[in-house]
């Protein structure tokens, strides 16, 4: 082990143990909370301040023993349709020096966009050092006690992380013994070919599973490691949104469940089943575990794994999936759990002890039902197992619209401070909330008020393309909104057509793939987009729906009206 690395590890108690007496007592300071809790709906007794704002696409975060918050932020292809990243590094250090609940000291470091940097999601503190995902690497920064941010460049602990396909993010966590557990999400929806097309069969064997759809294990105290199939630790996990530990060292993680059961396999699933299946899950991985992807998915209503239709399933059969590892808890489909943290603090009521907070980033594909999620949920646990139903802990992030392109905020990261405060990061505008508690220590679990969003209502234009009837445009509008033919357009392009990180703007005046005419738009829809210019993923032919030429013409006509009010 390099001497510098060993010395930094020996300094860990200085960095992580320099809490003040107030923090050591387990009591959070009492800042002046905003009357609206920073726009959030919380359970009785809880209070939120906007700890920091407008930081860029903030993802995961961690909190040092002295209360300094470190947050990773991301640019990259997932945000090519968003505003430029703020100047400076993608890693941000934040400190509240006067105890008012708002950061008043900020420093940026790490990779910068001007030099090709993209930032990342994963971040963790271990033995006096900060570990950060930067593009396809995990980098270690030596920290000095009392210093807000490191002065020098970091050293590479792990390189070669996969970046292609649907899930290029790499959340990670570090066990007490230095084992670094890192996610490598799947490149596809269900290892089918072609990806996300109706009726496409799953590959067998699923060759992408050699390097994707699982958790890999490395060492946090070793530099120069290279990602490889041999280090796979657990498998069958489509995409791990976050990894956390309880006080006993038990491991918990969340998974983004697969998409498009109803849209791609309508012979087996009703529209409503497509909305509600499969469950998002909280699970407890271990070395050698197999949670089923791509051959299996978890049905939260029947509380069992089922065989995926790409591998011969019919919505009922279980087959080989009967032996797959089971989750700890199940949640509504398509809510996108982007992070999990276990509440190890003492400032919240006792009912929250050792339970899991989960940040649900929010859905894009619950059509024809409204999109949902965009909240922080709490799952009570006892001895590592679910001890009750989940409840809504924090809501109101999205504002008026629960859509990827129109949501004001989307929760992406969670961390518990040494004083017991809960921090929540948002990757739309880069806001961080600090949530504290001022009520009775024995208060029961009480859900927050649900904040209703506006229904997705795409615009209706008075203009019609030449040779197109109002009835055709009405059909195109229904498909666009996901109300007919299994359409998924609104999830990526938004009910206003102005796009999101998942899909480009459709309203012009400049168009990416055609001249913007109904004929040009129809050709793009029919062919799909393999390599998007300003979005995070490819669009399959016809958006992955089984559309006829007349349907494609209708959708193209409606899309044309969005740019011609």
Q: For residue 157, with 0-12 CB atoms within 10 Å meaning exposed, 13-18 middle and 19 or more buried, which class applies?
A: buried
CA angle 407, 533, 254 (to 5 degrees): 50
- Which token pair is 115? 């030099």
Q: In sequence order, what are the beta bridge partners of 252?
A: 244
Residue 77: predicted pLDDT: 59
Two structure tokens written together for 513 = 């793939």
User: Per residue in 476-519, pLDDT tens?
Assistant: 888 888 888 878 888 778 888 887 777 778 887 778 888 888 88
DSSP H or E run through 526: helix 518-527
Cβ atoms of 201 and 149 closer than 8 Å: no
Tokens 């793009």 correspond to 524
Q: How many CA atoms lie within 13 A of 223 on its CB side?
A: 14
Residue 346's CB is within 10 A of a number of other CB atoms, namely 15
DSSP annotation of 291 reads -
pLDDT at 33: 74
Per-residue pLDDT, 335: 97
Compute the distance between CA of residue 330 and CA of residue 386 in angstroms, rounded to an integer: 10
Q: Cβ distance 409 to 422 under 8 Å?
A: no
Query: What distance in Å separates the CA atoms of residue 61 and residue 122, rounded to the nearest whole number?
Result: 8
What CA–CA distance (Å, rounded) separates 108 from 93?
Answer: 6
Spans of the chain below 50 pLDDT: 1-29
CA 6, 9, 13, 19 dihedral sign is positive
Beta-carbon count within 10 A of 314 CB: 12
Q: At what angle do helices 549-562 and 518-527 cross, to 10 degrees?
A: 120
Q: Which helix (H) or strand (E) holds 478?
A: helix 470-480
The CA–CA distances, whole Å, from 435 to 41, 258, 346 equal: 11, 32, 13
62 phi-psi bin (left φ>0, alpha ψ -120 to 50, beta other)? beta
Task: Record the pTM.
Answer: 0.89
Helix (H) or strand (E) holding 5: helix 3-10
CB 96, CB 103: distance < 8 Å: yes
Q: What is the DSSP letter of 355?
A: -
Whole-Å CA distances, 212 to 163, 166, 321, 471: 10, 11, 19, 45
Any residues with CB less than 8 A from the CB of 333 and at least 6 apart, and which?
257, 275, 276, 277, 278, 279, 280, 300, 363, 366
Q: What would the 3-class secondary structure string for 67-95 be?
A: CCEEEEEECCHHHCCCCCCCCCCCEEEEE
Q: What is the pLDDT of residue 417?
A: 97
3-state secondary structure of 240: strand
Cα 486 from Cα 56, distance rounded (Å): 34
Are 299 and 305 a contacting pair, CB within 8 Å? yes
Measured CA to CA, the distance from residue 114 to residue 190 in angstroms comes to: 36
From the list 162, 164, 156, 135, the residue with the least C-alpha distance to 76 is 135
The single-letter DSSP state of residue 401 is B
Closest by CA to 521, choosing from 502, 508, 532, is 508
Q: Residue 302: which of 315, 288, 289 has the closest Cα?
A: 315
**At 414, is the secondary structure helix, strand, or coil?**
strand
Question: Which phi and psi (to 5°) does residue 309 adopt?
Answer: -65, -25
Nearest-CA neighbor of 67 among 34, 38, 28, 31?
28
431, 59 Cβ separation under 8 angstroms:
no
User: Vertex 106, ends 103 and 109: CA angle to 5°?
Assistant: 145
Helix (H, G, I), strand (E, B) or coil at 45: coil
Give the C-alpha separation, 372 to 315, whole Å: 23
Ramachandran quadrant class, 226 (left: phi over 0; alpha: psi -120 to 50; beta: rest): beta
Report the C-alpha gap between 497 and 480 in whole angstroms.
10
- The confidence score (pLDDT) of residue 22 equals 36
Taking a C-beta distance cutoff of 8 angstroms, is the pair 122, 171 a contact? Answer: yes
DSSP one-letter code for 110: S
What per-residue confidence (pLDDT) applies to 7?
39
Rounded to a whole number of angstroms, the CA Rg of the chain reads 23
């Amino acid at each position: 082990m390099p001497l510098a690395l060993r010395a930094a590890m020996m300094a860990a108690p200085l960095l992580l143990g320099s809490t003040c007496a107030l923090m050591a007592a387990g009591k959070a300071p009492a800042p002046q909370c905003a009357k609206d809790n920073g726009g959030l709906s919380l359970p009785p007794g809880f209070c939120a301040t906007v700890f920091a704002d407008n930081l860029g696409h903030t993802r995961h975060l961690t909190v040092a023993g002295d209360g300094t918050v470190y947050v990773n932020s991301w640019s990259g292809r997932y945000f090519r349709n968003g505003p430029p990243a703020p100047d400076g590094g993608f890693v941000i250090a934040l400190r509240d020096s006067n105890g008012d609940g708002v950061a008043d000291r900020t420093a940026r470091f790490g990779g910068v966009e001007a030099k090709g940097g993209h930032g990342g999601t994963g971040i963790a503190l271990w033995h006096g050092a900060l570990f950060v995902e930067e593009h396809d690497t995990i980098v270690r920064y030596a920290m000095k006690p009392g210093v807000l941010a490191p002065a020098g460049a970091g050293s590479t602990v792990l390189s070669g992380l996969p970046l292609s396909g649907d899930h290029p993010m790499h959340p990670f966590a570090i066990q007490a013994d230095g084992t670094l557990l890192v996610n490598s999400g799947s490149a596809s929806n269900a290892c089918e070919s072609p990806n996300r097309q109706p009726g496409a069969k799953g590959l067998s064997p699923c060759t992408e599973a050699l390097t994707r759809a699982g958790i890999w294990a490395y060492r946090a105290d070793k530099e120069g490691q290279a990602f490889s199939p041999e280090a796979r630790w657990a498998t069958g996990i489509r995409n791990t949104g976050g990894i956390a530990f309880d006080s006993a060292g038990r491991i918990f993680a969340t998974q983004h469940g697969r998409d498009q059961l109803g849209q791609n396999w309508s012979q087996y699933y009703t529209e409503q089943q497509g909305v509600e299946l499969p469950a998002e899950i909280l699970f407890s991985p271990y070395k050698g575990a197999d949670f089923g992807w791509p051959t299996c998915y978890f049905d939260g209503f029947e509380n069992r794994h089922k065989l995926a239709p790409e591998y011969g399933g019919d919505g009922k059969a279980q087959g080989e999936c009967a032996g797959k590892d089971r989750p700890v808890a199940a949640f509504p489909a398509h809510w996108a759990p982007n992070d999990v943290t276990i509440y190890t603090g003492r400032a919240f009521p006792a009912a929250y002890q050792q339970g899991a907070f989960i940040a649900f980033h929010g859905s894009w594909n619950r059509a024809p039902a409204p999109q949902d999620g965009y909240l922080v949920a709490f799952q009570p646990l006892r001895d590592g197992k679910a001890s009750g139903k989940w409840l809504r802990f924090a809501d109101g992030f999205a504002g008026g619209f629960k859509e990827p392109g129109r949501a004001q905020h989307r929760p992406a990261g969670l961390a518990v401070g040494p004083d017991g405060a809960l921090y929540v990061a948002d990757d739309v505008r880069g806001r961080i909330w600090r949530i504290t508690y001022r009520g009775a220590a024995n208060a029961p679990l009480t859900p927050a008020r649900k904040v209703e969003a506006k229904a997705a209502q795409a615009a209706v234009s008075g203009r019609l393309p030449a040779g197109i009837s109002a009835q055709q445009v009405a059909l195109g509008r229904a498909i666009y909104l996901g109300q007919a033919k299994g359409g998924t357009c609104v999830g990526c392009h938004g009910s206003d057509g102005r796009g999101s990180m998942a899909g480009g703007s459709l309203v012009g005046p400049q168009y990416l793939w055609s001249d913007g005419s109904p004929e040009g738009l129809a050709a793009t829809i029919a062919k799909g987009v393999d390599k998007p210019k300003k979005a995070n993923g490819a669009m399959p032919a016809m958006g992955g729906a089984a559309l006829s030429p007349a349907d494609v013409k209708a959708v193209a006509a409606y899309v044309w009206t969005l740019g011609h009010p």
